[in-house]
Amino acid sequence: MCHSSAGTIQSQFLRPEALGTSTAGRRVYVTTMHRKEVDTTLNPRVVALKLSKTMALTDLASSMRERGMDVVGLAAGEPDFDTPSQILDAGIEALRTGKTHYTPNTGTHALRQAICNKLEQENGLEYTPAQVVVSNGAKQSIWQAVLAVCLEDDEVLIPAPFWVSYPEIAKLAGAKPVIIDCPAQDDFLLSPAALKASLTPASRLLILCSPANPTGSVYSRKDLEAIAEIVADHPRLMVLSDEIYEHIIYAPAEHHSFAALPGMYDRTLTVNGFSKAFAMTGWRLGYLAAPPHVAKAAAAIQSQSTSGASSIAQHAGVAALRLGPNGGQPVQHMREAFQQRRDFVVKQLQQIGGVTLVEPKGAFYCLPLMASFFGPSASAEGFGAIPDADALCRYLLEVGQVATVPGDAFGAPDCIRVSYAASMADLEKAMERMSTALNKVIQNSDR
């Protein structure tokens, strides 16, 4: 018999053999089992998660193209280039030479040593392979780092605008995301004053991303040194430095690793990967370089979740790091193309009345302020009201057939994110369509 927690009889569980072997008996058993209600309760942390708008809009644009619509996608956060041939050849070699089995949990020694060499030569950081954990993409590396160092209700400080997953990862780890507004007049960069005002005894982790998604902003060494002075005064505070876009940066801007600053090595969790610089998004390969106790904890998490990254991707990753300093000629070619595209998109957006734009210094995004095109009095003929950035992005997609991402996904509700990781032909078409569509937006008051 099944009992409730109070001890009262709920129902009589009938075993199949107790019902006999007749068809009628079996039918009674099946019917009895099917009448039981299934508990659909989910973990509250999972229920609280927001779906990624970048993924949702990218998928929507793809489905529209599959239906024959000529949609230009400027929502995705990935290079439009193919993976360099040297890396492809290494992946093919791995397949043909039997490198298709499990690897050590934290990655092959060859890849972890190559990562250590890269960090020393390009970033001035000395790590041992034991301090490097290779994962299935930098997103997993960030998740494991946050889970490793944050206690329940610890605070994770996140400058806004931010990458969509930072707050959700913090919440999933049981921590509290604390959003710090970084206005456009400060180039969307965290100021020392804003950081100081946000610190509490519960502050555990500060997340910095440079070059940044979604703004393209880049912290100078002076900027980082000012932040490091504040971090040094708070013993519990650590820094997660997301450096996934380090090679996509435009002169005179320069990349600086936070862990290389005086006194910050033991405070910093450095995350990087292969997706953006090497156009390897589908290979799923990222890494964490951290103090030994954090690397060990991240490795333990990984050992009980995904285990090691793809053996084929890891073999290709070694080839990627052998292309030369800062990714060699293949990465330089992509960087030059991104800069040309950035210059074009910035110029076109600045020519649209009502658009305010901070010029990006890295990555392949820009985050124009678009509040002139939405609000209580905004509308467009044939579409209707445009109360917010979400509606504006729907309007641009449905009417202009250009996919962008509303800024509220990044903590910037007055903006939209435009990715220029697309061909010049697509960007020319997209900018013309956006200009035409935006000029049809009507406000009761002049822009």
Express each pLDDT in 18-48 by its tens digit.
445 555 555 555 555 556 889 999 999 999 9
Express each pLDDT in 215-260 by its tens digit.
999 999 999 999 999 999 999 999 999 999 999 999 999 999 999 9
Report, as an integer, the average pLDDT of 373-394: 95
Express each pLDDT in 341-357 by its tens digit.
999 999 999 999 999 99
Report, as an integer, the average pLDDT of 410-422: 97
pTM above threshold 0.85 = yes
Going by pLDDT thresholds of 50, 70 and 90, the confidence category of residue 13 is very low
Going by pLDDT thresholds of 50, 70 and 90, the confidence category of residue 50 is confident
Instruction: Reply yes or no on whether the pLDDT at 338 is more than 60.
Output: yes
Report, as an integer, the average pLDDT of 142-164: 97
Instruction: Reply yes or no on whether the pLDDT at 265 is more than 90.
Output: yes
Instruction: Reply yes or no on whether the pLDDT at 397 is more than 60.
Output: yes
Lowest mean pLDDT, pick from 17-31, 85-99, 147-161 = 17-31
Report, as an integer, the average pLDDT of 70-85: 94
Going by pLDDT thresholds of 50, 70 and 90, the confidence category of residue 295 is very high
Residue 64: its pLDDT value, please? Answer: 86
% of the chain exceeding 70 in pLDDT? 91
Express each pLDDT in 93-131 by its tens digit.
999 999 999 999 999 999 999 999 999 999 999 999 999
Torsion of CA 170, 171, 174, 177, to 10 degrees: 60
Instruction: Reply yes or no on whether the pLDDT at 426 is more than 90.
Output: yes
Instruction: Reply yes or no on whether the pLDDT at 55 is more than 90.
Output: no
